[in-house]
Chains A and B, each alone.
Chain A
Amino acid sequence: MTALTDKPHLSREHMLGLLKQMIRIRRFEDKCAELYTQEKIRGFLHLYDGEEAVAVGVIPVLEKRDSIVATYREHGHALVRGVPMTAALAEMYGKQEGCSRGRGGSMHLFDRATNFYGGNAIVGGGLPLSIGLALADRMRGDDTITACFFGEGAVAEGEFHESMNLAALWGLPVLFVCENNLYAMGTALAFSESETDIQRKAACYRIASEAVDGMDVIAVEAAARRAVHAVRENRKPYFLECRTYRLRAHSMFDAQLYRDKAEVEAWRHKEPIVRYQGWLEANHMVHPDDLARIEAEVAAEIAEAVTFAEAGTWEPVEQLTRFTYADRAREPVGEVLWHK
């Protein structure tokens, strides 16, 4: 664990905040699993257990005006970013009170208010999008940045390479955050990449890069601060590989034939909440009261979200074709999405 003195911003409040965020994500994902088995949430569900330190370490370092592009495993990212848990869960239920009007579901959480540009079900599909957001920033001379989250599976896609090249060539303010959890669905990294040291790929594009222990939230935060600062100052991309592990299966319907239980168990002992909480306890920075309070607050927030989602309403079928195109007659189109 990195020493406290290297991190000037680590007040107790901040420290406990990091823990709470990770626990909040973990309990939320757990509740989603339960709701899925009860068929409240349908389709595909991809849970973030074990990777919380990445979202919690990186996203709070961003400014409100920055943009985020994420993947289908984005519940944690959305929650940390500030998408209300009620809206996120209602979205997964398919209710029109969801953040995407219920139209998208678990894989397509979008939130304009927090510049959260989705949830994307196409592996690698968000990378060109992040290039475009950053290109707009650059052309307007803003100092905003775009954080693009993707898994290590995406580095096999052509779009990854095209996007890295464009970002470096055009000098775009993109923070590429690769969450290397060692498995692309059921394919282990060694079966997918000739070069498994992912961070090295950035060098081919002359992009500054760093690999960090993705199970250590403090390390991730520190690396994120460096990275975000670099991108904002230099107006150049940065590549941050976060080495992490996915404790649950790829999705709910996955027998995990591709890895053995002993491996998962081993990682459970070094997953981010266990490590961080253990470290806080060992350093007497957290007390049982704090933990109880955190759990209670999180449980209450989740219960409220479930109530909200359960009470939500279904979008009328007559509205099916709305919002395929902008509805100029009924809603002012106006300026599209200045995200400042």
Chain B
Amino acid sequence: MAQVTIQPAATEITYRDAVREAIRDALRRDDRVFLMGEDVGHYGGCYAVSKGLLAEFGAERIRDTPLSESGFTGAGIGAAMAGMRPIVELMTVNFSLLALDQILNTAATVRHMSGNQFGVPLVIRMATGAGRQVAAQHSHSLEGWYAHIPGIKVLAPATVEDARGMLWTALEEPDPVLIFENVMLYNMTGRLAADAGPVDIAKAAVRRPGRDISLITYGGSLWKTLEAATVLAGENIDAEVIDLRSLRPLDDATIMTSVAKTRRAVIIDEGWRSGSLSAEIGMRIVEQVFWELDAPIGRVCSAEVPIPYPRHLENAAIPQVPKIVAAAKAALGRA
């Protein structure tokens, strides 16, 4: 009789549900964990991520806040400094700017500034990205800005597995961690093992191995990049797709191993091009594997405009599959 290996059952789950499971899991595991943010309780979360959690865990642990981003982010910092494990939800990265002072001037600085006496084990989750025609003030991708700041860590889960698993690992960090959830991913479904648990938060992942070019990306752009890789395969270009997963720190080892192998790189970053994270990655590639390069490094970023409202203009403003394909082909010297 043949050996039968029992696999844990996998389910189809949306990214949204995976995040909710992650929060629920954390709340159950550790009494110190609580969720705080605008409309996370009674409303069920702006993106329905925390739906049902108020009934399950109560108002002390699923804490609705007034519209006071600076106030409640600072409160999260203080609670973390005092030994709790808060998850602060800033509705979107667009509103996080009101809390930027607390994030940069308190959360990121306290450990260094106090000579290691105090740390801030805080997790901040934010939605990010464009694509829903919500116009200029609601469509930013500022992960790259935050990745500029020493003292914090920045994550961009792009798969259901990471949506489910990064939160717990982030909660175990003694320093502030920002988790960016791209708005276009919430409805996405994927397979998740029933026993899915914490995942590492320091390494990039090779989502598609390839020989001809390294396509480096994160967050919402991952799926467009994978689609572009499929298109490229049809033209005999074998693209390797790297999902950065962690934007600060960047996993240089994985990036450089890939580029040293393929000798070409295109970076796909939904931030505005100038001074974006793609500029940082490109520079690191030049610093570390210059001699392996066979072509200039390319990048596909958002156009330098405030994100416009009408669909055709919004689509033109942000990275899309055809642009990724074109950039890859250009790196290979193909029209």
In their complex, do chains A and B touch, with some C-beta pair under 8 Å? Answer: yes
Do B119 and A337 touch (CB < 8 A)?
Answer: yes
Chain B residues with Cβ under 8 A from A125's Cβ? 74, 101-102, 105-106
Known: A166-B68, A336-B174. A110 touches B74 (CB 8 A): no
Known: A101-B116, A125-B106. A326 touches B74 (CB 8 A): no
Chain A residues with Cβ under 8 A from B80's Cβ? 132, 336
A84 to chain B, nearest CB (A): 14
Do B74 and A131 touch (CB < 8 A)?
Answer: yes
Chain A residues with Cβ under 8 A from B78's Cβ? 117, 128-136
Distance A108 CA – B113 CA, assembled complex (angstroms): 7
Q: Which of A111, A136, A170, A323 contacts B111 (CB 8 A)?
A: A323
Chain A residues with Cβ under 8 A from B150's Cβ? 324
Do A335 and B83 touch (CB < 8 A)?
Answer: yes
**Chain A interface extent, by class:** 35 or more
Do A67 and B82 touch (CB < 8 A)?
Answer: yes
Do A100 and B114 touch (CB < 8 A)?
Answer: yes
CB < 8 Å A-B pair total: 165
B71 to chain A, nearest CB (A): 3
Chain B residues with Cβ under 8 A from A251's Cβ? none
Do A163 and B79 touch (CB < 8 A)?
Answer: no
A237 sits at the interface (CB 8 A):
no
A122 to chain B, nearest CB (A): 5
Contact with B along A316-334 (1 / 0, CB 8 A): 0000001111111001010
Chain B residues with Cβ under 8 A from A166's Cβ? 65-66, 68, 71-72, 75
B334 to chain A, nearest CB (A): 43
Chain B residues with Cβ under 8 A from A326's Cβ? 111, 116, 119, 174-175
Chain A residues with Cβ under 8 A from B60's Cβ? 139
B146 sits at the interface (CB 8 A):
no
Chain A residues with Cβ under 8 A from B115's Cβ? 96, 98-104, 110, 323
A336 to chain B, nearest CB (A): 5
A143 sits at the interface (CB 8 A):
no
Q: Which of A99, A133, A331 contacts B79 (CB 8 A)?
A: A133
Chain B residues with Cβ under 8 A from A100's Cβ? 113-115, 117
A12 sits at the interface (CB 8 A):
no
Chain A residues with Cβ under 8 A from B298's Cβ? none
A101 to chain B, nearest CB (A): 3
A91 to chain B, nearest CB (A): 9
**Chain B interface extent, by class:** 35 or more
Do A133 and B82 touch (CB < 8 A)?
Answer: yes
Chain B residues with Cβ under 8 A from A206's Cβ? none
Distance A326 CA – B77 CA, assembled complex (angstroms): 16
A210 sits at the interface (CB 8 A):
no
A338 sits at the interface (CB 8 A):
yes
Considering only residues 58-108 of chain B, those with a C-beta below 8 Å from chain A are 60, 63, 65-66, 68, 70-84, 86, 101-102, 105-106
A169 sits at the interface (CB 8 A):
yes
Distance A158 CA – B112 CA, assembled complex (angstroms): 26
B151 sits at the interface (CB 8 A):
yes
Chain B residues with Cβ under 8 A from A338's Cβ? 83
Considering only residues 259-298 of chain A, those with a C-beta below 8 Å from chain B are none
A70 to chain B, nearest CB (A): 13
Known: A112-B118, A128-B102. A103 touches B70 (CB 8 A): no
Between A and B, 18 residue pairs with Cβ closer than 8 Å are A100-B113, A100-B115, A108-B113, A118-B113, A121-B105, A122-B101, A122-B105, A128-B77, A131-B72, A132-B77, A132-B78, A132-B79, A163-B71, A163-B75, A166-B65, A166-B68, A337-B81, A337-B83
State the 9 A-B residue pairs at the shortest beta-carbon distance, nearest first. A132-B78, A128-B74, A101-B115, A162-B71, A162-B68, A110-B114, A136-B82, A326-B174, A132-B75
Interface on A for B, CB 8 Å cutoff? Answer: 67, 96, 98-104, 108, 110-112, 117-118, 120-122, 125, 127-137, 139-140, 158-159, 162-163, 165-166, 169-170, 322-328, 331, 333, 335-339
Known: A100-B115, A101-B116. 12 other contacts (CB 8 A): A100-B117, A108-B114, A122-B106, A127-B74, A129-B78, A129-B106, A139-B34, A159-B71, A166-B71, A323-B111, A323-B116, A324-B150
